[in-house]
Amino acid sequence: MGHQQVPPDDITLTRRDLQELTSRETSSLDFDLASIYVSDAQYNRNIYFDTSPQAVRLYLRYNHWLPQVLLYVFILVDLSLALFEEPAVFALPTWATMLVELLCLIVFTIRLIHYAKVIPRDKFWKDPKNICIIVILGLTMVDMIIYGALKASNCRAVRWSRVLRPLLLVNVTEGRQLRRAFRSIRNALPQIFYVFLLFMFSLLIFSLMALKLLGKRGLKTIDGAPYFTNYLEIVFDLYVLVTTANSPDVMMPAYNASTGFAIFFILYILINTYIFMSVFLAVVYNNYKKYLKEEVRQLVRAKRHKMVRAFAVLQEQREEGGEPVVSQANWNQLVRLVQPDLSNAHRELLWSVSDDTNQGCIGKVAFVQLADLLNIEVITLKSRPHPLQGVCPAFYLSAPSRLLCQLVQHRAFVIVYDLIILVNAVFIGLDEENPLISNSEWVFLALYLLEILLKLYVFEPRAFFSRHSFWNWFDTIIVVAALIATIINSAMKSSGDYTSRQILDIVFILRVLRLIRVVDSIKRFRTIINTLIRIGPAILTFGQLIIVVYYIFAMVGMEIFKGKVKFYEADSSDPAKAYCGNPSLKGTPFAQLNYCKNNFNDVVSSFVLLVELTVVNQCSGFTLVTHVSARIYFVLFHIPPFITIIVTIRPQLHIFVAFVLEAFFVEYSVEKSDLQTSLEKKIEELELAVAQEKLEDNLVNAMETIDSDQGTGQSANSKPGLMFKIASKRYRTVDALLQRMFEADLDPEDFAETDDPAAPTSGNFSNPAFSSA
């Protein structure tokens, strides 16, 4: 459930194990084992697997990307079944969804059995994750059978086990990011709770004061209802006032009665909105950071231990009594196994960083760095001449051609195209019914195409479309897609009878998206955007977390509220349309404001409604419902589930803000890590560095000085045919970002400890467990 105290997928390293490991010769199995340790360290997997040859082979297969992707695909299929099940968005017969669900269950069972074969039996049964999955699978089976039987006998049946589905996301082995997020939130809750209590206390005191001061004055709200006479209503009104959603309205009757009451409300907002919310954020931020730091500390410690184990497998004694080392040959074979897609040159670069003194072998300390080194993304740039130069050198190297290249690479070229984009923005904003405007679209498309073709003429195509040229890819895809969509649209239009709204929408979206390109030309904007892109994967963890919570609430909400509120299309003439098909809503603001589509009638509507409830300052829109007639609110929404939603989701938003704050600080301001610096230094030492400006401004000129392609560039000391560049501060994994976030705060002693990995105290490294005191 993500709530277990100690996730027991840990590795215990005994002294006996180690001796056994070191006494053997390095075989193929040893390499498999070592590569597993390294890749576990690289991706922070904490799985206690059997070291028997068979289990190691199975474990390798378990960690293969294909079954992992398949697992997530099936979880996605399982989750999206809610679209087809009753109440359905697209109705499918019950037997079809049941069959698909059964297939999913089988896949999950197979995956679990695979996992059970990999780790020792006793570890398997001690792990709450596995128990959870088994329970979920069992309960789902039971529910399906009951549901099927009830349906067959035409009874009313509830598919209650659907609530359990998102829990699979948390409990699969790969969900460790999500589990960590849940743990951090749970650990930060007690502290947050005290601030919340104090805030509630302040709210209650203020409400009491409002009741005594204003209740007896016979004031009326704008609707003519008595003002501030019911304590519970006052509490609710003032609670909403904290979010400032009903701000002037709730104050106006008192303010109209006497100016002095404004002081009460201003004081209230100052204390409860500004001071308390700041303190709330401060406490959330502080606690979340504290626990996350502890988690990361444990993570780093576990990583070092795994690297030490890998070292123990491959180590050899060069001279009697000397320190054990790993030879370059073994190291090469290991890295090849761990990351087969690494180029030889890149591998050699990493080796030269590790073996700084050029001894042909590395000790334990240097070896342990490997996991972090592999996580630094190094861009390998092969300097190739432009293909046109090969095909027709006389033309490509002629003076006009070179002038064109210089023009395209000039700063003015960028500025001209930025201006074109701005003009385009104005044209988009104008009415496209005008033939001049609609024809101008072709001109702009041609201009954008020309830009891409010019760039392709100037820059080497493979460099232009390299994996890290985000904006080049973005441009090309948007322009080509817009071209295709516009052509289709024109074809349909000229065929006369039908203009597809969908196609037109796509054309519009693509046109507007093109404008985003301007951002890349302004350096400060680029910094901010790049920072956001880099912390993106970490934010996605929160996305999963939100989906888990939403899904559970949506399932429960659908079972309770489905059909209570009905939505009628705009052209419907049903009289029930005026009150959303529910007579008790007659004349209420809910119906008047046309909120009928905010219902729980299918999973998509439920999600939208939940998002609204999260986003909308708790309830502003929906308080309009309560405000006038609390009755309707209770009838419709049965307040408790909604209070639960708010209380559950709100802290997450705060934690989200806290996380973005922290990640942004690190990304935005901090320099590179020590390891990255040493890698960069080595790259420069070997004269393989690509100057940033060179790369961007005159890649062609730089390449022209290199006479011909040097092949794969095996020897790094020859004239460089290969160039390296560290992908600035990009991380391969979210964990690497986390580690980076707390690097300054992490105790150096934690790393020193790895020198004695077999010591009983440090041998057992579990994920962190905090006492909830």
Q: Which stretch binds its own copies (CB under 8 A): 195-203, 352-360, 412-420, 466-474?
A: 195-203
Give residue 307's identity as a one-letter amino acid code. Answer: M
The site for its own copies, by CB under 8 A, has a size of 86
Q: Which stretch binds its own copies (CB under 8 A): 110-118, 141-149, 262-270, 316-324?
A: 262-270
Q: Which stretch binds its own copies (CB under 8 A): 25-33, 115-123, 204-212, 368-376?
A: 204-212
Taking the complex as a whole, the smallest distance from the CB of residue 620 to its own copies amounts, in Å, to 7
Q: Which stretch binds its own copies (CB under 8 A): 34-42, 200-208, 370-378, 396-404?
A: 200-208
Q: Which stretch binds its own copies (CB under 8 A): 38-46, 360-368, 601-609, 708-716?
A: 601-609
Give residue 111's identity as a one-letter amino acid code. Answer: R
Taking the complex as a whole, the smallest distance from the CB of residue 559 to its own copies amounts, in Å, to 21
User: Quick one: which of 291, 311, 367, 595 contacts its own copies (CB under 8 A)?
Assistant: 595
Query: Measured on CA atoms in the order 13, 16, 18, 24, is the torsion positive or negative?
Result: negative
Place of tokens 């080796």: 351
User: Quick one: which of 572, 617, 712, 764 contacts its own copies (CB under 8 A)?
Assistant: 617
Would you count residue 669 as binding its own copies (CB under 8 A)?
A: yes
Taking the complex as a whole, the smallest distance from the CB of residue 208 to its own copies amounts, in Å, to 5
Taking the complex as a whole, the smallest distance from the CB of residue 665 to its own copies amounts, in Å, to 6
Q: Are 6 and 767 in contact, with CB atoms under 8 Å apart?
A: yes
Q: Report the interhelical angle of 276-314 vs 734-741 (nearest 10°).
A: 110
Q: Report the interhelical angle of 640-669 vs 276-314 (nearest 10°).
A: 60
User: Quick one: which of 147, 288, 656, 731 contacts its own copies (CB under 8 A)?
Assistant: 656
User: Quick one: which of 177, 184, 605, 623 contacts its own copies (CB under 8 A)?
Assistant: 605
Would you count residue 200 as binding its own copies (CB under 8 A)?
A: no
Q: How many CB atoms lie within 10 A of CB 764?
A: 12
707, two tokens: 């006479």
Q: Reduce the DSSP state of residue 738 to 3 states and report it.
A: helix
Residue of 554, 559, 531, 570 lying closest to 662 (CA atoms): 531
Specify the residue, 23 or 259, whose C-beta has the smaller distance to its own copies: 259
What is the footprint of its own copies within residues 533-572 (CB under 8 A)? 539, 567, 570
Taking the complex as a whole, the smallest distance from the CB of residue 484 to its own copies amounts, in Å, to 18
Q: In sequence order, which residues have a C-beta less than 8 Å from that of residue 457 and are 6 or more positions away? A: 388, 404, 405, 408
Residue of 367, 322, 295, 314 lying closest to 750 (CA atoms): 295
Q: How far is CA 646 from CA 275, 410, 550, 616, in A?
A: 21, 54, 11, 11
Would you count residue 752 as binding its own copies (CB under 8 A)?
A: no
Q: Which stretch binds its own copies (CB under 8 A): 43-51, 578-586, 627-635, 649-657?
A: 649-657
DSSP of 50-69: --SHHHHHHHHHHTSHHHHH
- Distance, CA of 189 to chain centre: 22
What is the footprint of its own copies within residues 265-304 (CB under 8 A)? 266, 269, 273-275, 277-279, 281-283, 285-286
User: Quick one: which of 76, 149, 222, 419 contacts its own copies (CB under 8 A)?
Assistant: 222
Would you count residue 573 as binding its own copies (CB under 8 A)?
A: no
Specify the residue, 222 or 329, whose C-beta has the smaller distance to its own copies: 222
Which neighbouring-strand residues pair with 413? none
**Binding map of its own copies across residues 83-102, x = CB under 8 A, - = no contact:** --------------------
What is the footprint of its own copies within residues 487-526 (CB under 8 A)? 505, 508-509, 511-512, 515-516, 518-519, 524-525
Specify the residue, 229 or 472, whose C-beta has the smaller distance to its own copies: 229
Taking the complex as a whole, the smallest distance from the CB of residue 248 to its own copies amounts, in Å, to 4
Would you count residue 646 as binding its own copies (CB under 8 A)?
A: no
Sort residue 587 into left (φ over 0), alpha (ψ -120 to 50) or beta.
left
What is the footprint of its own copies within residues 698-737 (CB under 8 A)? none
Report the 3 state secondary structure along 216-258: HHCCECCCCCECCCCHHHHHHHHHHHHCCCCHHHHHHHHHHHC
User: Quick one: which of 99, 145, 208, 491 contacts its own copies (CB under 8 A)?
Assistant: 208
Query: Measured on CA atoms in the order 489, 495, 499, 502, is the torsion positive or negative?
Result: negative
Specify the residue, 281 or 388, whose C-beta has the smaller distance to its own copies: 281
Q: In sequence order, which residues have a C-beta less than 8 Å from that of residue 581 and are 6 or more positions away? A: 565, 566, 568, 574, 596
Query: Measured on CA atoms in the order 679, 685, 689, 694, is the torsion positive or negative?
Result: positive
Taking the complex as a whole, the smallest distance from the CB of residue 290 to its own copies amounts, in Å, to 9
Q: Are 308 and 754 in contact, with CB atoms under 8 Å apart?
A: yes
**Binding map of its own copies across residues 337-356, x = CB under 8 A, - = no contact:** --------------------
Q: Which helix (H) or strand (E) holds 12?
A: strand 11-12
What is the footprint of its own copies within residues 228-257 (CB under 8 A)? 231, 244-245, 247-249, 251-253, 255-257
Specify the residue, 80 or 244, whose C-beta has the smaller distance to its own copies: 244
Q: In this structure, what DSSP letter does residue 619 have?
A: T
Would you count residue 529 as binding its own copies (CB under 8 A)?
A: yes
Would you count residue 212 as binding its own copies (CB under 8 A)?
A: yes
Q: Are 601 and 87 in contact, with CB atoms under 8 Å apart?
A: yes
Taking the complex as a whole, the smallest distance from the CB of residue 695 to its own copies amounts, in Å, to 25
Residue of 655, 654, 544, 565 lying closest to 609 (CA atoms): 565
Specify the residue, 251 or 700, whose C-beta has the smaller distance to its own copies: 251
- Please state, in angstroms and rounded to a whole number, the distance separating the CA atoms of residues 579 and 19: 78
Q: Which stretch binds its own copies (CB under 8 A): 362-370, 401-409, 527-535, 673-681?
A: 527-535
